[in-house]
């Protein structure tokens, strides 16, 4: 029950996830160890699981090998040298160094095998590619364990393949969620019960038959969220190189500020529609399990970060404006001779069979339009849809999404948003929930639209709310409004 899970969570472990920049070198590994030790001590000695990504840049290198862009032998030597240098900087010597080198060499085995293959570099098969892509996390774990031990902690590796059970879809495997809790109880709980820190690879899993799989880029966040749910964790801490979720993309909005709290639904929408700080699947799984999630800066651990939980406080109606480039819009219209009945079912059956994830949708009885990422393979989908409908594909687009709380409940919110959108040409509008509203626009128009929305919905509203009440005023709500449904003078469209 929810009550019993909440009671277990009160005494549950902390799950830390450290991204690539947080484990980039020996100095960052020492900082990682200090954060884990300090956090555990500050929480009454609570047990800890540490989920680690590959060292910064390593996954890109391994992707090049898997896709046939770089020789495996070249990557092998580069990774062997880099990780040995980190071990040198950690000061590991003697028998301990021999043991560490043996673990690093074992992690490199898939690359050794690939380097021995004859012929020029070529794209690898899906199963082999996953074994290659997992090498980065496999190499990081023994180095993190070493850093934690040097900090005075009892740290032990736990292979993610033993805990993160997945299906067999290589490169984008889906976890078998019901299997995770018993597997975590079998492989992780004994380590935690012994008072040790469990160190696991992010991003990596395995099928029931033991074949290595990966969860897709950014999947270490997802691993941490999965473990948080399986262990009834007190909290999942995502350590990264920024302070947390921001109210806008700083590349477009110079005045973007930290969002101190978000509800689960808001975090899901932001992560799906452009906030790259958190993996969308991690946000969605945290929402499903109710485990609080905090995004923190490992380079500035005293910064407050962003707390994601069921009911957020301390932020106005509008929390952030997200921007997602590289979007494709597909417009599908039934042939005039076709029966409208069942048209949408046929369209989405094709998309489901080809495993094409759809972000935004608008429909009528005989037509639909939807957005997908530009890197999705759409040729076969378009061919099948063309058998019963006219298909148009529009690229060069982006989604701009306003995220907030109670957007459908507060009067005038839609007018405020549409006033800020102004004359920007919009290809599609979507509002399927109480926490977000999305616009599909030309990618070149998106940054300016983000700035206008941020200025109108967040900055000016914050300035208004900060005005002191005038006791001589008959109505305290008569403060100057930044915009009205009738339209006020437009703010500077270039933003602050």
What's the whole-model pTM score?
0.86
d(CA 422, CA 444): 16
Q: What is the mean pLDDT of residues 329-334?
A: 94
Q: Which of 53-67, 186-200, 478-492 has the lowest mean pLDDT?
A: 478-492
Contact call for residues 295 and 240 (beta carbons, < 8 A): yes
Q: What is the average pLDDT across 2-10? A: 54
For 56-74, b/e burial (b = at least 16 CB within 10 A) is: bebbebbbbbbeeebebbe
Alpha-carbon separation of residue 337 from 332, 345, 363, 383, 390 (angstroms): 15, 17, 19, 19, 12
> What mean pLDDT comes out for the span 85-92?
96
3-state secondary structure (DSSP) of residue 457: helix
Checking if the pLDDT of 387 tops 60, the result is: yes
Q: What is the DSSP string of 140-194?
A: HHHHHHHHHHHTT--EEE--GGGT-BB-S-TTSPPB-HHHHHHHHHHHTHHHHHT
b/e per residue 463-495 (b: at least 16 CB within 10 A): eeeeeeeeeeeeeeeeeeebbeeeeeeebeeeb
pLDDT of residue 251: 85
Whether pLDDT at 487 is above 50: no
In the predicted model, is pLDDT for residue 384 greater than 60? yes
Q: What is the tens place of the pLDDT at every residue in 39-77?
A: 877 766 789 999 999 999 999 999 999 999 999 999 999
What is the average per-residue pLDDT within 101-127?
95
85-99, 270-284, 307-321: least confidently modelled range? 307-321
The whole-number average pLDDT for the span 238-259 is 92
Domains of the chain as residue ranges with CATH: 2-241 (3.40.1160.10), 320-478 (3.30.2130.10)
What's the pLDDT at 274? 85
pLDDT score for 476: 43
Query: What pLDDT does 211 receive?
Result: 98
Mean per-residue pLDDT for 195-199? Answer: 97
DSSP string, 377-430: --HHHHHHHTTTEEEEEEEEEEEEEEEESSTTTSTTHHHHHHHHHTT---SEEE
Residue 392 neighbours by CB under 8 Å, 6+ apart = 330, 331
Mean residue pLDDT across the chain = 89
pLDDT at residue 331 above 80?
yes
- Please give the pLDDT value at position 338: 62
Give the relative orientation of helices 446-454 and 413-421 as an angle to the nearest 10 degrees.
140
pLDDT for 190 beyond 90:
yes
**For residues 237-252, average pLDDT:** 92
Q: Do 88 and 180 touch, CB atoms closer than 8 A?
A: no
C-alpha to C-alpha distance for 329 and 369, rounded to whole angstroms: 7
pLDDT band at 415 (very low <50, low <70, confident <90, very high): confident
pLDDT of residue 477: 45
Neighbours of 336 (CB within 10 A): 7
Residue 388: how many CA atoms within 13 Å on its side-chain side? 18
Task: Write phi, then psi, for 260 (nearest 5 degrees).
Answer: -70, -35
In which band, very low, low, confident or very high, does the pLDDT at 83 lie, cut at 50, 70 and 90?
very high
Q: Order of strands across the sheet with 306-309?
A: 155-157, 197-201, 48-52, 14-18, 235-240, 293-297, 306-309, 261-263
d(CA 83, CA 106): 13
pLDDT digits 0-9 by tens, 442-478: 999 999 999 999 999 888 877 766 667 655 544 444 3
> Over the stretch 121-131, which tens digit does the pLDDT of each residue have?
999 999 999 99
Please give the Cα distance from 109 to 77 (Å, whole number). 12
Q: How confident is the model at residue 264 (pLDDT cuts 50, 70, 90)?
A: very high
C-alpha dihedral sign at 146, 147, 151, 154: negative
- pLDDT reading at 484 higher than 90: no
Res. 485: pLDDT tops 60: no
Please report the pLDDT score of residue 465 as a whole number: 67
pLDDT of residue 433: 81
The residue-averaged pLDDT of 405-434 equals 85
């Amino acid at each position: 029950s929810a009550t019993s899970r909440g009671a277990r969570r009160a005494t549950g472990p902390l799950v830390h996830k450290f991204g690539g920049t947080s484990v980039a070198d020996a100095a960052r590994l020492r900082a990682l160890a200090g954060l884990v030790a300090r956090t555990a001590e500050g929480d009454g000695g609570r047990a800890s699981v540490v989920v680690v990504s590959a060292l910064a840049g390593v996954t890109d290198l391994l992707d090049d090998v898997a896709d046939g862009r770089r020789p495996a032998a070249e990557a092998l030597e580069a990774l062997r040298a880099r990780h040995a240098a980190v071990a040198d900087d950690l000061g590991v010597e003697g028998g301990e160094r021999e043991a560490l080198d043996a673990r690093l060499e074992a992690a490199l085995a898939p690359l050794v095998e690939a380097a021995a293959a004859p012929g020029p570099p070529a794209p690898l098969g899906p199963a082999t590619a996953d074994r290659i892509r997992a090498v980065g996390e496999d190499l990081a774990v023994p180095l993190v364990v070493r850093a934690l031990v040097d900090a005075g902690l009892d740290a032990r590796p736990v292979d993610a393949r033993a805990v993160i059970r997945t299906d067999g879809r290589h490169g984008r495997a889906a976890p078998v969620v019901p299997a995770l809790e018993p597997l975590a109880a079998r492989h992780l709980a004994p380590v935690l019960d012994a008072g040790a820190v469990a160190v696991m690879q992010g991003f990596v899993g395995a099928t029931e038959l033991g074949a290595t799989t990966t969860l897709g880029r950014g999947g270490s966040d997802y691993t941490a969220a999965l473990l948080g749910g399986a262990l009834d964790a007190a909290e999942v801490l995502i350590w990264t190189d920024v302070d947390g979720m921001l109210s806008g993309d700083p590349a477009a909005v110079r005045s973007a500020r930290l969002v101190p709290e978000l509800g689960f639904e808001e975090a899901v929408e932001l992560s799906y529609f452009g906030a790259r700080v958190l993996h969308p699947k991690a946000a969605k799984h945290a929402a499903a399990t109710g485990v609080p999630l905090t995004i923190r800066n490992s380079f500035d651990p005293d910064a407050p970060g962003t707390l994601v939980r069921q009911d957020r406080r301390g932020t106005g109606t509008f929390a952030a404006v997200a921007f997602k480039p590289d979007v494709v819009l597909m417009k599908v219209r039934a042939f005039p001779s076709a029966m409208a009945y069942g048209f949408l079912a046929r369209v989405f059956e094709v998309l489901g069979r080809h495993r094409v994830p759809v972000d935004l949708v608008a429909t009528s009885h005989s037509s639909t339009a939807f957005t997908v990422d530009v890197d999705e393979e759409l040729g076969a989908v378009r061919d099948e849809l063309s058998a019963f409908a006219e298909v148009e594909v529009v690229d060069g687009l982006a989604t701009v999404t306003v995220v907030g709380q109670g957007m459908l409940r507060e009067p005038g919110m839609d007018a405020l948003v549409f006033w800020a959108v102004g004359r920007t040409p919009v290809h599609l509008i979507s509002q399927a929930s109480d926490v977000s509203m999305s616009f599909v626009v030309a990618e070149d128009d998106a940054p300016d639209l983000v700035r206008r929305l941020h200025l109108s919905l967040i900055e000016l509203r914050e300035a208004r709310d900060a005005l002191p009440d005038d006791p001589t005023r008959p109505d305290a709500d008569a403060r100057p409004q930044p915009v009205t449904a009738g339209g006020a003078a437009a703010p500077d469209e270039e933003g602050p």
